């Protein structure tokens, strides 16, 4: 029995909510021009989503490997 790295159903939006909170707080603290803040927010969201996708995929893959390692390989 391995430890699953996937989030339960109600917690699946949590990483995206945390990403949005970080982006919102970082942009609200800046004193840049309105258009520059908008551009930075769009760039941060795109980069953050790509990084979050790969991080969640890697965590799911390592969780799957750990559960296979403890139970043995099934062919």
Tens digits of residue pLDDT in 42-68: 999 999 999 999 998 888 888 777 766
- Residue 32 or residue 70, greater confidence: 32
Residue 48 · residue 19 · CB < 8 Å: yes
Tens digits of residue pLDDT in 1-49: 455 556 677 788 888 899 999 999 888 888 888 899 889 999 999 999 9
Q: Where are the domains of the chain?
A: 14-60
- Angle among Cα 72, 67, 49 to the nearest 5 degrees reads 140
Contacts 24+ apart (CB under 8 A), 32-39: none
The pLDDT, as a whole number, for residue 32 is 85
């Amino acid at each position: 029995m391995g430890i699953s790295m996937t989030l339960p159903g109600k917690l699946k939006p949590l990483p995206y909510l945390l990403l949005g909170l970080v982006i919102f707080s970082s942009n609200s603290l800046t004193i840049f021009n309105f258009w520059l803040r908008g551009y930075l927010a769009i760039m941060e969201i795109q980069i953050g989503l790509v990084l979050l996708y790969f991080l969640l995929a890697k965590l799911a893959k390592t969780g799957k490997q750990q559960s296979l390692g403890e139970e043995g390989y099934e062919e």
